[in-house]
Structure 1
Amino acid sequence: MQELYPWTRYVAIGDSFTEGIGDPEPDSPGGNRGWADRVAEVLGHSTEGFAYANLAIRGRLLSQVHSEQLEPALELRPDLISVSAGGNDIIRPGSNPDEVAHRVEALVAELRRDDATVVLFTGPDIGMTPVLNRMRGKVAIYNENIRAIAQRHDAVVADMWSLRELSDSRMWAPDRLHFSAIGHHTVARMVLKSLNVSNELEPFRPEPLPPRRWREARVEDIGWAREHLMPWVLRRVRHQSSGDNVSPKRPGF
C-alpha cells in the first residue's frame, strides 16, 4: 500500500546547496539536480498533483534569501518549505554565528505564518576541509542556535552535522565547497528520514579509499587552492557572487 504524506506543495529556498550545485544534470532545470529535487521526486511519487518549486540561487547571503525569496515562496502557498541560508554568511571573516542565527529566526517566523512545515539545516562538520576547518567552532555554535530555533517554531531539523558519511571525500565536489552527486543523494535520504518519509534511495556503501601519500595530498591541495579557493576569495574581495545574473531554476509550480 502506498504511503500518503500531508504535503502537496513544496518550495525550496536558499543558496547553492539547495540549488544543487556540485550535482550537474543536463536534463534538469538549470543544469543541476541536487538533494531538493531528489526529495521532491520521492514525495511526488506518493502524492497525486504534487507541486515543487526551487527558488534557491548560488552565492546568496541570508539577507538576499530573505528579501528575494521569502515573498515569492509564500505566494505559492506551500505546505512544506525547506530553507538553508546563512552558510555563506558564517564562512565570511568576522561573522557572528549568534547574530546570523537571530536573522534566520526572523525568516523562519515569517515562513511559518501559514503553518507550513519548515525544514531547517544544521551545517556539516567541516573539520576535514582545508581552510574552512578554521570555522568549525562557529558552525557548531550556529548549529546549536538552529536546533533551538526549530524547537521554538516547531520546525524540522535536517541535521547534516551528525551525518558522518559526509566526512568521506567522495561526498564533495572538486571545489570542496559543494556536495557531489552522491553527497546530494545522501543528504536527500537524511531529509526524507527527518520528515519520516520512507524511500528507496540506496545508502552509500563505499569501498575503502587507498591511502594517499603526503606529497600527493599536498599537490592536490595546491591545485585546489589555485582552481577553486582563489577565485572564491577574489569574488569576495570584488563583492561579486557566483549567482550574479542567475535566475531560480524552478520559479513556480
Structure 2
Amino acid sequence: MNWGILAVAAGVGSLVVAGLSYAAGKVHVNGHVPRYAEHWGHRPDEHPADVLHYVALGDSAAQGVGASSVEKGYVSLIGARLARETGRPVSITNLSVSGAVSDDVVSEQLGQLDSLPFTPDIITIAIGGNDVVYPRHNTESFAASLTTILERLPTGSFVGDVPWFTIPGFNVVSGQMATRARQLITDHGHHLVEIHRASRSLGYWKYYLNVAQDLFHPNDVGYAKWADLFWEQIVESGTLERLRADQLQPA
C-alpha cells in the first residue's frame, strides 16, 4: 500500500469537501441579501409621539447579512436595546445597501439621510469592508470618501472603523484603512467604534467562529459583539441618558 498516495488523495479530498462547503455557504449567505433588503424597505409612515428615530447607514453588515435572521444583525440588536433601556418605541430607518463602498454612501445614502422627514435621535454607520476587497479602491480613496461622510453626518454620530480581514494582503489594507478611519472619526467629532481592534484581538481561530458560512460576514456571535461595541460608545457618550431624558420632556 502506498501511504504517500493515500495521504495525497485524502488531502485533495478534504480540499474538495472544504471548497464545496464554502461554495454552499456563500450561496446561502447571498440569499440573505434580497430578503433582508426587503425587510428594511418596509418603513412605517406614522410614528408615536415619543418615538426614538434610529438611522443606520453602511453596507451588508448593517443589513445583517450573515446573521441567521434580520433580528440578529447589529442594527436590530441596537434598536431592541434602545427600546428596552429607554422605554421608548424605536423606529429604525436602515439606509444601508449590501455591496456598498464608501463612495456609495456619499452618492446615495447621505442624500437619503438629508431628505428624511424627521431628525434622527441616533445614527450609526460602519463602512469600508468592501473598500478593502473591491478593485480600484485603496486607502486614499477610502479616506477621501470617509472625510466627506464625516463632514456631512450630524456631530456625535457613532462610526465604526474598518473590520479586520485574515486574508493575506487584505489584512494589511484593512489595517491601513482602519488607522486612517480612527483618526478621521475622532477629528470630526464623532464617536469611534473600534471594530478592527476587536476583531483582530480574536486571533485567527476565534475569528472564524465569529463569521458566517461565506467566511466574510459576521454570524450571530459576531454581530452580537459588533452591537456591544456600538452600545459601549452609546453609553459612554451620555447619549442613552439624553434619550431617556427626552422621554420625560413635556410635549
TM-score scaled to structure 2, two decimals? 0.65
Aligned to 1:99: 141
Q: 1:20-169 counterparts in 2 under 5 A?
A: 20-25=64-69, 28=70, 33-47=72-86, 48-74=88-114, 75=116, 76-112=118-154, 115=155, 117-127=156-166, 132-163=167-198, 164-165=201-202, 167=204, 168=206, 169=208
- Is the Cα–Cα contact under 8 Å of residues 166 and 183 in structure 1 kept in the other structure? no
In the alignment, the residues of structure 1 paired with residue 197 and residue 126 of structure 2 have an alpha-carbon distance, to the nearest angstrom, of 16
- Is the Cα–Cα contact under 8 Å of residues 124 and 166 in structure 1 kept in the other structure? no
SS of 1:52's partner is strand
How many pairs does the alignment contain?
Answer: 180
CA, structure 1 residues 141+111, in 2 after alignment: closer, same or farther (shift >3 Å)? same
Task: Tell me how far 1:166 sits from its aligned partner.
Answer: 7.0
Q: In the alignment, does 2:209 pair up with 1:170?
A: yes
Aligned to 2:233: 194
Letter in 2 for 1:16: S
TM-score scaled to structure 1, two decimals? 0.65
In the alignment, the residues of structure 1 paired with residue 111 and residue 226 of structure 2 have an alpha-carbon distance, to the nearest angstrom, of 26
TM-align CA RMSD: 2.2
Higher helix share: 2
Higher-Rg member (1/2): 2
In the alignment, the residues of structure 2 paired with residue 65 and residue 125 of structure 1 have an alpha-carbon distance, to the nearest angstrom, of 20
In the alignment, the residues of structure 1 paired with residue 89 and residue 184 of structure 2 have an alpha-carbon distance, to the nearest angstrom, of 32
Aligned to 1:184: 223
Sequence identity percentage: 21
In structure 2, the gaps of 5 or more residues are: 1-50, 237-251
Letter in 1 for 2:185: A
